[in-house]
Amino acid sequence: MEGIIGTGGLVGFAVASMVGKLTPDRRKVVAEGLKAWLRDDARKAARQDLPLLLDEFGKRIDTMVADLDIQIVDDKPVVTVVGQGRDTLRALERGTNWFDPCEDVVSVVISSLWES
C-alpha cells in the first residue's frame, strides 16, 4: 500500500532526507501522528466500545511503523509498509466499519515528522 503527495524545493529536499532513515524515535513520532489523526480528526461511528477500538488500533499502528519506510517514486514521497502492517495501512487508507478513511496517509506521516 502506498500514498503519494507532490513535493518540490525545500519540502522535496526535506522529504528526500528521510528516505530510508527513519530511526526508532522518528517511527514513534509517526505512530503518534497517525494515532492523533485517528483520535482527533477521523470521523468515527458513535459506539460504546470506541475507546477500546482506538486503543487496539493504536497498538496496530505502533506495530506497523516498525516496518514503515518513506521512498521517492516519480519525484513524490511514498509510504510503504511490509508484513502485517500492510493491513493496518490499508485500513487507514480505506477506513473500517467504525472510522472513515484517511484521505492522505503520506501527508499525516510527513507532517508528524516535519512538526517534530
3-state helix, strand, coil in the chain (%, to 5): 55, 15, 35
- Burial letters for 74-91: b for 16+ Cβ neighbours within 10 Å, e otherwise? eebbbbbbeeebeebbeb
Tens digit of each residue's pLDDT (9 = 90 or more) over 19-75: 567 889 999 999 999 999 999 999 999 999 999 999 999 999 999 999 998 887 887
pTM of the model: 0.82
Which range has the worst mean pLDDT, 26-35, 86-95, 107-116?
107-116
